[in-house]
Amino acid sequence: MRTTALHLWGPALFALGSSALKNGLALKPQLGWNTWNSFACDLNETVILDTAERIVSLGFKDLGYEYVILDDCWSAGRNESGYLVYDEAKFPNGISHVADKVHDMGLKIGIYSSAGTMTCGHYEGSLRHEEKDAALWASWGIDYLKYDNCYNEGEEGTPKLSFDRYNAMGKALNKTGRPILYAICNWGVDGPWNFAPTIANSWRTSGDLSNVWDRDDVNCPCTETDGLDCKLPGYHCSIMNVLNMAAYYPSKAFEGAWNDLDMLQVGNGGLTDDESIAHFSLWAAVKSPLLMTNVMTKIDAKTLSILQNPAVLAVSQDPLGSVAIRRWRYYVDDTDEFGKGEIQMYTGPLSGGDQLVVLLNAGSKPREMNATLVDIFWADGPDGTASEIQKSWDIYDLWANRMSDDDAWAIINGTSSQGASMNGPTGYNLSAMGGFEKVYSETPTSSSKMLMGSKVGSVNPSGTVKAHVRPHGVPC
Ligand code: GAL
């Protein structure tokens, strides 16, 4: 008999139906790496192939990270026939050559364009060139498109205008016959959670995420109060700004159609270790795509041990595909420099009858935090009527078995006796276990240290889960 378990910290929401896009992709939130945050316009063949090689050799591929995505600035206009051309200085052997190499490593490759006349970096956009561009990318072997929103000629302002503009590319991608994951990046304008699930695999929900925990910035003017109808999503948005907007629409995501809170900032400086853990945990809990953006050739031990926590990746890839919801939020007196100290609890079901609980301390002091079973299972029966409340639960800390710095450095330096993809002291090798898809889709059991962390306590019927939580952290 399985032990029913509460996963402490790790979070989830309700998955309904199957992808309306029907390309069979992103049935779990996509995992991968993108050039933008670390390389901006300085991407090239070497960057892509070096990164792909590290994704394999460091064990990221074995854990499920799959897509290597070229963001803005890869192109150099259109040729006389109207087809996009790649920048020959950056890609001297062409992009199909890079795609072949990436495929040879067992990975997939993504590209970027904008549903406008120009990309945000002022390169050629794809508006009214959808079919030619999609056909070209398919001929190169592209597996993923990130499709931005710059210079859209004013074709937004109603969900229908945005839908039509993004649907044109979705149809063009489908017409190629090649399965190409379609990731819309319109920063939440016109409510893509309403119009995009039938035409795309994921949609950005807000402005560009910066590597800062909580900071007001004039370039990210929308707050959660106007975030649902944001006219200028912008950039330099903080983790808390993006998270607090995303708290409102977890029910819009389902298999093959995910809310995208933007790429990970883990390993890019700017965040403390606790902030990075909280960021990664929450993005996994709300089933955002997990796209790393750190410089893989310069990765450090702490970055590796966060991005390679299999217990958190198993939450992201959980078979239920259920997004954690924010069950409560309280403001606290210990504020940060912007005066917004708060604590929150996210929870949701995981496969096999387990439940994810994330206690987030966004205040500036460490604190003891509590979550009652009544609150955790509120959605299953308000006022304490849910049958789950009458059960005892074991509590597992999903960060308990984080890889040690020594083990992580050994992997990075290529001196690990266990080799990459052996996850530190737990010593699991997902390839040897039949691959990450199989491992993550098997119901985690309390005997799996890799997927469950460690048992740290239990809670009696009608009881309360308690944890010590550091500032800007989740229990760990
Ligand atoms: C932004 C987008 C970023 C990045 C950038 C490239 O609009 O949100 O993620 O793609 O454009 O110019």
pLDDT digit string, tens, across residues 148-172: 999 999 999 999 999 999 999 999 9
Distance, CA of 336 to CA of 17 (rounded, Å) = 41
Q: Which helix (H) or strand (E) holds 347?
A: strand 342-349
CA distances in angstroms from 102 to 58, 95, 98, 265, 414, listed in the order given = 15, 10, 6, 23, 21
If you average pLDDT over residues 169-197, what whole number do you get? Answer: 97
208 counts as catalytic: yes
Alpha helices, DSSP H only, in 334-445? 373-376, 405-412, 436-441
Distance 331 CA to ligand 1 centre (A): 32
pLDDT tens digits, 421-455: 554 444 567 877 888 888 888 766 666 778 888 99
If you average pLDDT over residues 42-47, what whole number do you get? Answer: 98
Q: What share of the chain is helix, strand, coil (3-state, %, to 5)?
A: 30, 20, 50
The answer, yes or no, to whether residue 61 has pLDDT greater than 90, is yes
The answer, yes or no, to whether residue 11 has pLDDT greater than 50, is no
Ligand 1 atom closest to Cα of 71?
10
Distance 69 CA to ligand 1 centre (A): 12
Which residue of the set 71, 72, 190, 208 is catalytic? 208
pLDDT tens digits, 234-281: 999 999 999 999 999 999 999 999 999 999 999 999 999 999 999 999
- With tokens 């970096």, the residue in question is 121
Ligand 1 atom closest to Cα of 208?
8
Distance 148 CA to ligand 1 centre (A): 7
Distance, CA of 414 to CA of 40 (rounded, Å) = 28
The answer, yes or no, to whether residue 17 has pLDDT greater than 50, is no
Residues with Cβ within 6 A of ligand 1? 36, 71-72, 119-121, 148, 150, 185, 208
Tokens (6 digits) for 476: 């760990």
pLDDT value at position 193?
96
CA distances in angstroms from 286 to 64, 290, 313, listed in the order given = 18, 11, 12
